[in-house]
Amino acid sequence: MRAMVLTRAGAGRLEACEREPPIARRGEVVVRVRACGVCRTDLHLVHGELSDPKIPVIPGHEIVGVVDRLGDGVSGLSVGDRVGIPWLGYSCGDCAYCRSGRENLCRLARFTGYTIDGGYADCTVADARYVFRMPEDYDDGHAAPLLCAGLIGYRAYRMAGDGSRLGLYGFGAAAHLITQVAVHEGREVYAFTSPGDTAAQRFARDLGCVWAAASTEPPPEPLDVAIIFAPAGSLVPAALEHLAPGGVVVCAGIHMSDIPSFPYRDLWEERVVRSVANLTRRDAREFLAVAPKVPIRTRVQTYDLADANRALADLREGRVNGAAVLTVSA
């Protein structure tokens, strides 16, 4: 099978390789990949900003495909089912985190496209317990971003609380999906983009944001909550400056540059800064049920599997408006 592989930690690019197709062991399914989203986490992996990846590794954790083979002991799935495979690929089920509904923090957790081979390939293998049926309302390419941009965005959105004025820093794959959920629920959304990115600002307004401008600009009203999707630590004190008392700043990325110091008065009055890590299977079930009801519409920019390096470069340079998706097979 074809695969795009990170052969050396921090190599900065992927290598096209031929691999033997994976085998489904007990409890696993082999999935023939049809589409795989290109996530900013993949960028961090390829450029060595994430520690201890499996090397060599096939990236990709927004996988949509069809079940091709079943391992022994798999129930609830059949050959031919269309499924999605997200970032969380395994948790132990036994530790205090898993038993308290926080399997996203399991110390033995494994992650698709990072410590488990992912979807930048013709086929992949996954633990059947971490595979989800995809809503029929979406074709393969438009479904793929739901599996990370959507799921991580949704977890961050829930963690942010119920404030009516929501600020989103970094208007890319995750923000354009969560904006639609927030507008559907009657919230006011304020979009903060890179300075000069007027295309992203127009896109944000088209999706219902009441205001969109550069991250260097103050919003017209104090924010109740802010979610930071961009991997820039300097945005944390910037968001705090625009936050109403009792508000929450959620850092939604797996990697962020260092947060500069800021005066305590910006945190005072019960403001909160928190991070979001990974996702749970409950997040997946809830969000994949919510998405077609809103309905969430994904904007995607597609690339062939062989063009994965170009897709990553476009994402890094801000040339993707919405979400990048690799088309793997028909």
For residue range 194-226, list pLDDT tens digits in order.
Answer: 999 999 999 999 999 999 999 999 999 999 999
Encode pLDDT of 124-141 as tens digits.
Answer: 999 999 999 999 999 999
- Name the residue among 159, 142, 313, 309 with its Cα closest to residue 248: 159
For the stretch 10-14, contacts whose Cβ atoms lie closer than 8 Å and that sit 24 or more positions apart, written own/partner, are: 10/46, 10/47, 10/48, 11/46, 11/48, 12/46, 12/47, 12/48, 13/46, 13/309, 13/312, 14/46, 14/59, 14/120, 14/308, 14/309, 14/312
Domain boundaries, the chain: 2-148+278-327, 151-275
Mean pLDDT for the stretch of residues 276-290: 97
Mean pLDDT for the stretch of residues 158-185: 96
CA pair distance 25, 78, nearest whole angstrom: 15
Q: Per-residue pLDDT for 29 more than 60?
A: yes
pLDDT at 208: 98
pLDDT at 260: 97
Q: Per-residue pLDDT for 323 more than 60?
A: yes
Encode pLDDT of 47-82 as tens digits.
Answer: 999 999 999 999 999 999 999 999 999 999 999 999
- Name the residue among 150, 167, 151, 152 with its Cα closest to residue 249: 167
Confidence of residue 329 (pLDDT cuts 50, 70, 90): confident
- Rounded to 10 deg, the angle between the 173-184 and 198-206 helix axes is 30
Q: Per-residue pLDDT for 95 more than 90?
A: yes
CA distances from 269 to 244, 248, 265 (A): 9, 11, 8
Q: Helical H runs in the chain?
A: 40-46, 96-99, 140-143, 149-160, 173-184, 198-206, 235-241, 281-290, 308-316
CA distances from 266 to 16, 104, 271 (A): 48, 30, 8
Q: Rg of the chain's alpha carbons, rounded to an integer?
A: 19
pLDDT at 234: 97
Give yes or no for a contact between 151 and 291, defined as CB atoms under 8 angstroms apart.
Answer: no
- Identify the CATH class of 2-148+278-327: alpha beta
Give yes or no for a contact between 252 and 277, defined as CB atoms under 8 angstroms apart.
Answer: no
CA pair distance 264, 313, nearest whole angstrom: 38
The two three-digit tokens of residue 308, written as one number: 């994965």
Portion of the chain with pLDDT greater than 70, in percent: 100
Per the prediction, the chain carries an average pLDDT of 97
Is the overall model pTM greater than 0.85, yes or no? yes
Q: Per-residue pLDDT for 262 more than 80?
A: yes
The two three-digit tokens of residue 146, written as one number: 């739901």
Give yes or no for a contact between 191 and 312, defined as CB atoms under 8 angstroms apart.
Answer: no
Mean pLDDT for the stretch of residues 239-256: 97
CA pair distance 213, 228, nearest whole angstrom: 15
Portion of the chain with pLDDT greater than 90, in percent: 99
Give yes or no for a contact between 239 and 167, defined as CB atoms under 8 angstroms apart.
Answer: yes
Give yes or no for a contact between 148 and 219, defined as CB atoms under 8 angstroms apart.
Answer: no
Q: How do 165-169 and 188-193 pair as beta strands?
A: parallel
Q: Per-residue pLDDT for 330 more than 70?
A: no
Encode pLDDT of 39-48 as tens digits.
Answer: 999 999 999 9
pLDDT at 231: 95
- Rounded to 10 deg, the angle between the 281-290 and 149-160 helix axes is 100
Mean pLDDT for the stretch of residues 146-167: 96
Domain 151-275 carries which CATH code?
A: 3.40.50.720
pLDDT at 63: 98
